[in-house]
Structure 1
Amino acid sequence: MAAPVSTVSNHVVSVLVDAALAAGADPRRIARLLGVDHTQLLDRAVRVPTADVTRLWALLYEVAGTEAGALAAEHAEHGRLYVWDYLISTAPTLAAGLREAARYNSTICDPRVGLEVVEDGSLLTARYFDLPHRAPYDRLNREFAMVVTARRARAGFGASGIPVRVDFSHPAPRDRRYLERAFGAGNIHFDQSRDALKFLGTAARPNDPFLHAILRRHATEVLAAGGPERAWLEVFRDELRTRLSARTGGTMLDEVARALGLSGRTLQRRLAEQGTTWRAELETVRRDLAITLLCERSDSVRSIAVQLGYRDHRVLARAFRRWTGSAPADFRRAQSN
């Protein structure tokens, strides 16, 4: 099983969170944004929806400005990106290391992100493409990815790992000096067709082939173990179930939105980004709770209808027949036999 599309590794997200905190972001705001406390990101099985990562980049842009990508890269010390870091730095050649990074890029990135490595004589080029975040935050992500990759190349191969040219597809910032410092090089170009790092020569180093094989095997296992995490949508559904089971009056949507630190409109927008709607989610939770209450408790259908927020038990009866093909009372009798 490959890492799920439209998710990003917790290792990258934890780096972005650290950068946001260092820039003065409120940790409670980060927790609301991600649907979990940032300390839970230490669980290496967690992958975060790319839509949430875009919102995290938006927060970084808000607190750190146009240099947020390079700032985040400063928090990505060697090892923070787990096995991916060591695939580059333990390879026998820079070309081999970058190819391994490309092959296992989805251990840290959204699997849609591409990285290709091209050798042309003495010139070695690593090109990124299909970075998924929308403008203006896409440029932050490009700069982060490129700076981190260049730093891993330098960590493994010294001066040979310093790019001789850096190309970005976005326009130049007003002051590019922060990028010159980040790359340790000044030959940086903007408005190019691709985002690319170019290295000179085929840098090589002594390496331990057994260690590298172990790392490669582990990277394969990380990808195979990749699966959906308890993401924002699950947090939302838990809150919806809680509110539905303990009605407090008022509008259900607004109650759930407030509990998640959102406005009603923002809640509906986030549901749309997850490919669902408030109505569909409410219907699903009502169905599941109705079945549970009919099977496990003796409450009347009229009482269950009130608990689920229906004004009339006949509305519940029609919905239940649509869900299961049976009337509530018939379903209960069938389950008790």
Structure 2
Amino acid sequence: MTGMEHTCPPQITRLLLLAGEAAGLDRSRLARVPGLAVVGEDDIRLPSASLVRVWQEWETALRECGGGTLPWKLWRPGTLGVWDYLFSTADTLVDAFGVGDRHAAAITDPAESFVVTVDGAGRLTVGFRGVFAGHPVFPIISEFATGLILTSARSAAGRPLTPVRVTLPGAPPRRHDHLIEAYGTAHLEFGAELPSVTFSATDARTPLPRADPALAAILRDHARTTLASARPVLGWLDRFRVEVELSLPDGDLLAVAHRLRMAPRTLQRRLREEGTSWREEIERARRQWVEHLLQDTRMTVESIAARTGYADQRALRRAIHRWYGYGPAALRRDMSPS
């Protein structure tokens, strides 16, 4: 999964954008969210943080017209690509969610997962473990995740399903009639560790009408191939940092701005908006390079200073003392394999 960490495919972001536009939200507010310029392409993976930024920007407005369940009103079979069809070709809901978890990276960040359990009475509970669980927008993301679980199950079963229980993290909202309507049950529990949906034993084990083991195997191979060939899209700050590293030892602001096709003042403004500055980013890049050269080479401190853009070895020693509280020799010993 190397290279895919902290990324997600574009399908859910597209669904969220459609929901926002249906709610009358202005997409121009999202102009600075990394990756959205290519969200229509199927072979890319966006920074996971970009999806969270969309939730942040539109949370208040979405709360007024359906919350995290609103996007599912726009869902159609195939909206989530191969993941939708993996469900419909499985034998039962238990099998479907097991396959869905193994291929969760087909719709979300590889670090996220679906937690599938069957209790002693045969009831199936499917929870969602998200990497942004501590983020302020996670409650609305949880509403979305439980909607995904329930919508996928209903589509695979080809009939209405009434969940035994739906759990959501966070405190209950003042009114949650829209959630009762969306989930089809009043059995909602708040303050849970994970958002989850519980299905009856009958629903969990009833054979799915479009079960097809041969097609399911083909779809699993397709899901793996699609993931392996996807192209991660760097966010703006990521692209900038690559350019800064390439600019060393000189660290020329004008050259970096030119390669990013923006004016130097615009570049500095964008950095302020990201909570950083040109000076901080140059020091960050030099520090990373110094650490690499001390750990992985036998270069002298004088040579490292010249390679990373310091005036002389005394300037580099002062920088290392500022970063770590001791000198390069001690730092090299600390970083050496034991």
Q: Is the 8 A contact 1:15 1:76 kept in 2?
A: yes
Is residue 46 of structure 1 aligned with residue 31 of structure 2? Answer: no
Quote how far apart the aligned CAs of 1:194 are.
2.8
In structure 2, what is the equivalent of residue 95 of structure 1?
94
Evaluate the alpha carbon distance shift between residue 133 and residue 279 of structure 1 in structure 2; reply closer, same or farther with a 3 A threshold. farther
CA distance in 2, matches of 1:198, 1:110: 23
185-194 or 95-104: bigger deviation: 185-194
Q: Is the 8 A contact 2:145 2:195 kept in 1?
A: no
Quote how far apart the aligned CAs of 1:181 are.
1.6
CA distance in 1, matches of 2:262, 2:6: 35
Quote how far apart the aligned CAs of 1:169 are.
2.0
CA distance in 2, matches of 1:64, 1:246: 34
In structure 2, what is the equivalent of residue 81 of structure 1?
80
CA distance in 2, matches of 1:245, 1:195: 44
CA distance in 1, matches of 2:164, 2:101: 20
In structure 1, what is the equivalent of residue 30 of structure 2?
30
Q: Is the 8 A contact 2:168 2:192 kept in 1?
A: yes
Letter in 1 for 2:21: L
Q: Is the 8 A contact 1:240 1:282 kept in 2?
A: no
CA distance in 2, matches of 1:59, 1:126: 28
In structure 2, what is the equivalent of residue 111 of structure 1?
110
Quote how far apart the aligned CAs of 1:320 are.
9.4
CA distance in 2, matches of 1:84, 1:321: 52
Quote how far apart the aligned CAs of 1:183 are.
1.3
In structure 2, what is the equivalent of residue 184 of structure 1?
184
Letter in 2 for 1:278: E
In structure 1, what is the equivalent of residue 267 of structure 2?
256
CA distance in 2, matches of 1:16, 1:162: 25
CA distance in 2, matches of 1:191, 1:182: 19
Give aligned pairs, total.
Answer: 281
Q: SS at the partner of 1:268? A: coil
Evaluate the alpha carbon distance shift between residue 100 and residue 278 of structure 1 in structure 2; reply closer, same or farther with a 3 A threshold. same
CA distance in 2, matches of 1:246, 1:168: 43
Unaligned runs of 5+ in 1: 285-317, 326-337
Evaluate the alpha carbon distance shift between residue 245 and residue 169 of structure 1 in structure 2; reply closer, same or farther with a 3 A threshold. closer
Q: Is the 8 A contact 1:180 1:186 kept in 2?
A: yes
CA deviation profile, 1:272-293 (whole Å, cap 9, x unmatched): 9xxx953258879xxxxxxxxx
In structure 2, what is the equivalent of residue 301 of structure 1?
none
Quote how far apart the aligned CAs of 1:324 are.
8.8
- Which of 280, 299, 307 is 1:322 aligned to? 307
Quote how far apart the aligned CAs of 1:227 are.
4.5
Is residue 279 of structure 1 aligned with residue 282 of structure 2? Answer: yes
CA distance in 2, matches of 1:247, 1:14: 27
Letter in 2 for 1:183: Y
CA distance in 2, matches of 1:230, 1:155: 34
CA distance in 2, matches of 1:81, 1:149: 12
Evaluate the alpha carbon distance shift between residue 17 and residue 133 of structure 1 in structure 2; reply closer, same or farther with a 3 A threshold. farther
Q: SS at the partner of 1:125? A: strand
In structure 2, what is the equivalent of residue 205 of structure 1?
208
Letter in 2 for 1:228: P
Is residue 220 of structure 1 aligned with residue 234 of structure 2? Answer: no
Evaluate the alpha carbon distance shift between residue 163 and residue 3 of structure 1 in structure 2; reply closer, same or farther with a 3 A threshold. farther
Unaligned runs of 5+ in 2: 244-252, 288-302, 311-338
Q: SS at the partner of 1:42? A: coil
Evaluate the alpha carbon distance shift between residue 26 and residue 88 of structure 1 in structure 2; reply closer, same or farther with a 3 A threshold. same
Q: Among the aligned pairs, what percent are the same residue? A: 28
- Which of 18, 32, 56 is 2:54 aligned to? 56
In structure 2, what is the equivalent of residue 265 of structure 1?
272
Q: SS at the partner of 1:132? A: coil
Evaluate the alpha carbon distance shift between residue 236 and residue 100 of structure 1 in structure 2; reply closer, same or farther with a 3 A threshold. same
CA distance in 1, matches of 2:53, 2:85: 29
CA distance in 1, matches of 2:304, 2:56: 41
Letter in 1 for 2:135: A
Evaluate the alpha carbon distance shift between residue 146 and residue 257 of structure 1 in structure 2; reply closer, same or farther with a 3 A threshold. farther
Evaluate the alpha carbon distance shift between residue 282 and residue 268 of structure 1 in structure 2; reply closer, same or farther with a 3 A threshold. farther
In structure 2, what is the equivalent of residue 173 of structure 1?
173
Q: SS at the partner of 1:29? A: helix
Letter in 2 for 1:25: L
In structure 2, what is the equivalent of residue 331 of structure 1?
none
Quote how far apart the aligned CAs of 1:199 are.
0.6
Q: TM-score, normalised by structure 2?
A: 0.71
In structure 1, what is the equivalent of residue 193 of structure 2?
193
Letter in 1 for 2:58: L
Quote how far apart the aligned CAs of 1:131 are.
3.9
Q: SS at the partner of 1:20? A: helix
Q: Is the 8 A contact 2:164 2:198 kept in 1?
A: yes
Is residue 20 of structure 1 aligned with residue 20 of structure 2? Answer: yes
Letter in 2 for 1:9: P
CA distance in 1, matches of 2:286, 2:131: 35
Q: SS at the partner of 2:31? A: helix
Quote how far apart the aligned CAs of 1:144 are.
0.5
Q: TM-score, normalised by structure 1?
A: 0.72
